[in-house]
Amino acid sequence: MKRKSLISLEEALSLNEDEVKTLFSNYLNPGMAKAFELLGFDKVYIKASGTVLRDRKGNKYLDFLGGFGSLNLGHNPKKVIEALQLVEDRPNILQTSLNPVAAALAHNLAVITPGELSRTFFCNSGTEAVEGAIKLSRAATGKKKIIYCRNSFHGKTMGSLSVTGREKYQKKFTPLIPHCISIPFGDADALERELKQHKDVAAFIVEPIQGEGGIIVPPEGYLKQVRELCTQYEVLLIIDEVQTGFGRTGKMFACEHEGVVPDILCLAKSLGGGIMPVGAFITKPDIWDRAYGGLQNFSLHTSTFGGCTRSVAAALAAIEEIIKMDLPKQAAEKGSYFIAKLREITDKHPLVKEVRGKGLLIGIEFKDSGNILDKLASGVAKKISQDYFGAFVAGELLNRYRIITAYSLNNYNTIRLEPPLIVTYEHLDYVLNAVDEILKNNRSTGKIIFTGVKNAVESFFRSKMKNGKKNNK
Ligand SMILES: Cc1ncc(COP(=O)(O)O)c(C=O)c1O
């Protein structure tokens, strides 16, 4: 039933948890509300600063999810907020004008990105950056085909989805854009086979580390090899650093670990300083000019909100802060410490398959829990838990230790640890201790899963009973 009166911002800010749940379920995404409830993620936070969040009761939570990589500077970084105040009297949206902040930010991106990358297009999200990169590659080369990797994640709009290597996300939306070819990730020979076979390939798109795929690090030298192949076969190399960019993996951009310069680099997430939705792709001038040079073509790819003053001011300040605090170095050092300790803790644990990552982009993959679950659960719990095991571990970390993590989108058996790069060693140790305790307490029986399943079952039946009561009224 629709409410008749509007909710003011003040009222919205003081809604209690149940009211938020009802509104979320009625007006946003009921399925997501249900999944959050099953996993114990259905919380409301009212304060955020750095790595710490608080709920209405004042409970403190540690954010080790970091906005899927959007919060390299943490929540509400002061300098970024101050930047917004500095431009509050400027026109925020005025497309037919020259925006000094956008021009300065594009200049700064040219300074911090490798090689000759220097022409930027601003948009508002990661998927738009990828859309733009795909269009640019076709327009610049006049060729059609795009090669992408299985298990990749590049976004969920139609173009990006067409190069996102997971069937679950694609299958309800076919036909996708044609001429997209998938190959295994981390396999340069597979790329070469396709390049030999297909003459009209515009681009190869790849993540330096597959983030949503479950923090998959390719073999050393892979990016270098694909760079060489793309050059040899005259195919553009699109590197998607939407998640790995801005220090996350221990370098400003992950492609720098192998000294690789892409033809097009996709950026978003932490570019907006955790405050504004900012995306971008940056390319070499000759590629830009081939696609969009001259009076005929300059408006072939545009965005209403892309490059608006507040977004680019936030991004300018974010980059300045990331450099001032040397966050790439911090990520490298803290990441080495954290990964080594995590490996010590999880080594030989029967439930853990692998700890992997680079810098502070880290995944813990759990073994397929199907068999253990078969013994422990039945019905709905069994069905959901086989898919969501990593998510249940994330639920345990949240509900017992108040640590926010999440599963990765393509692999629910992997939880990702992606804290703000400003995270303290004390916070890292707290999380290490929590993981240690959870695993120690659940050495062989899978009690951890049992607790998760138990919560899920209870929650499921609670909601069933609630609905039953409603229906009986
Ligand atoms: C590598 C990569 N590319 C693109 C995207 C899509 O970004 P957005 O959700 O901002 O559209 C993501 C999101 O997780 C990503 O990790």
Nearest to 208 by CA among 169, 158, 259: 259
Q: Which residue has the CA at smallest separation from atom 13 of ligand 1?
A: 155
Domains of the chain listed by start with CATH number: 78-324 (3.40.640.10)
pLDDT of residue 473: 37
Q: List the catalytic residues.
A: 153, 240, 269
Q: Is 66 close to ligand 1, i.e. is its CB under 6 Å away? A: no
Per-residue pLDDT, averaged over 36-51, amounts to: 91
Q: Is 213 close to ligand 1, i.e. is its CB under 6 Å away? A: no
Q: Is 37 close to ligand 1, i.e. is its CB under 6 Å away? A: no
Distance CA(307)–CA(93), nearest Å, equals 9
Ligand 1 centroid distance, CA of 243 (Å): 7
Q: Is 243 close to ligand 1, i.e. is its CB under 6 Å away? A: yes
Q: Is 270 close to ligand 1, i.e. is its CB under 6 Å away? A: no
Per-residue pLDDT, averaged over 60-82, amounts to: 97
Distance CA(251)–CA(109), nearest Å, equals 15
Ligand 1 centroid distance, CA of 68 (Å): 9
pLDDT at 214 over 50: yes
71 alpha-carbon distance from chain centroid = 10
pLDDT of residue 41: 86
Residues with Cβ within 8 Å of 52's Cβ and at least 6 positions away in sequence, in order, are: 60, 61, 62, 63, 75
pLDDT at 131 over 90: yes
Per-residue pLDDT, averaged over 2-9, amounts to: 85
pLDDT at 369 over 70: no
- Percentage with pLDDT > 90 across the chain: 78
pLDDT of residue 137: 98
Per-residue pLDDT, averaged over 243-251, amounts to: 98
pLDDT at 146 over 50: yes
pLDDT at 395 over 60: yes
Nearest to 439 by CA among 350, 363, 326: 350
Residues with Cβ within 8 Å of 357's Cβ and at least 6 positions away in sequence, in order, are: 209, 215, 217, 335, 339, 363, 417
The whole model's pTM is what? 0.92
Instruction: Tell me what the pLDDT averaged over the chain comes to.
Output: 90
Q: Is 259 exposed, middle or buried (0-12, 13-18, 19+ CB in 10 A)?
A: exposed
Which tops the pLDDT comparison, 472 or 48? 48
pLDDT at 377 over 80: no
pLDDT of residue 454: 54
pLDDT at 67 over 90: yes
Pocket test for ligand 1, best of 70, 154, 239 (most atoms within 8 A of CB): 154
Pocket test for ligand 1, best of 255, 269, 271, 414 (most atoms within 8 A of CB): 269
Ligand 1 centroid distance, CA of 129 (Å): 9
pLDDT at 471 over 50: no
Q: Which atom of ligand 1 approaches the CA of 266 most closely?
A: 3
Q: Is 268 close to ligand 1, i.e. is its CB under 6 Å away? A: yes
Q: Is 206 close to ligand 1, i.e. is its CB under 6 Å away? A: no
Q: Is 418 close to ligand 1, i.e. is its CB under 6 Å away? A: no
pLDDT at 177 over 60: yes
Pocket test for ligand 1, best of 134, 153, 156, 160 (most atoms within 8 A of CB): 153
